[in-house]
């Protein structure tokens, strides 16, 4: 009986679904994927001087885009989706690939064109984090 009492909890635990993996916060994703080149959003990061192209100052994106923050363009640059028929960002070789940002939960996201598009939540959250740098 005593052995059964020791084994039963283990058997029940084996029936539980696996624990959800912890998803990094947008700040952690920025530190992992962006800060090395883009620094704090205003000043370049430590890797920037090694690059052929100067990283865009992320805190100035609204100014550089005629007063409108380019939400869809930022997400496209991060993962390299097509824009105007051209590959951009990671796929074009401008930035390293960030596949992890495309995994996990997907949400319907409208970038202002009125078309809700399935978009990885982590990618949306990172874009919103970059957008908040301007404030």
- pLDDT by position in tens, the chain (length 135): 565 555 655 555 566 556 668 899 999 999 999 999 999 999 999 999 888 888 889 999 999 999 999 998 898 888 876 555 554 444 445 677 788 898 999 999 998 889 999 999 999 999 999 999 987
**Looking at the domain assignment, is residue 98 inside a domain?**
yes
The total domain count for the chain is 1
Domain that holds residue 120: 22-132
Q: Does residue 59 lie in a domain region? A: yes
Q: Are 77 and 95 in contact (CB under 8 A)?
A: yes
Instruction: Report the pLDDT value the prediction gives residue 12, as an integer from 0 to 100.
Output: 53
pLDDT of residue 91: 47
Q: Is residue 2 one of the residues assigned to a domain? A: no
> Does any domain span residue 74?
yes
Q: Which string of DSSP letters, residue by residue, matches 25-51?
A: PHHHHHHHHTHHHHTTSSS--TTGGGS
Pairing status of strand 106-109 against strand 86-87: unpaired
In a domain, 12, yes or no: no
Q: Is 7 domain-assigned?
A: no
For 17-30, b where at least 16 C-beta lie within 10 A, e where not — what string?
Answer: eeeeeeebebeebb
Under 8 Å between Cβ of 101 and 79: yes
CA distance 68 to 89: 20
List the CATH number of the domain containing 104.
1.10.760
């Amino acid at each position: 009986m005593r052995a059964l009492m020791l084994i039963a909890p283990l058997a029940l635990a084996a029936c539980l679904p696996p624990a959800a993996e912890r998803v990094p916060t947008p700040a952690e994703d920025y530190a992992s994927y962006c800060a090395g080149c883009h620094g704090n959003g205003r000043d370049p990061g430590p890797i920037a001087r090694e690059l052929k192209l100067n990283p865009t100052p992320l805190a100035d994106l609204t100014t550089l885009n005629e007063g409108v923050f380019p939400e869809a363009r930022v997400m496209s640059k991060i993962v390299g989706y097509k824009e105007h028929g051209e590959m951009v960002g990671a796929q074009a070789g401008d930035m390293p690939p960030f596949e992890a940002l495309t995994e996990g939960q997907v949400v319907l996201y409208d970038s202002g064109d009125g078309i809700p598009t399935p978009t990885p939540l982590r990618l949306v959250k990172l874009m919103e984090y970059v957008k908040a740098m301007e404030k």
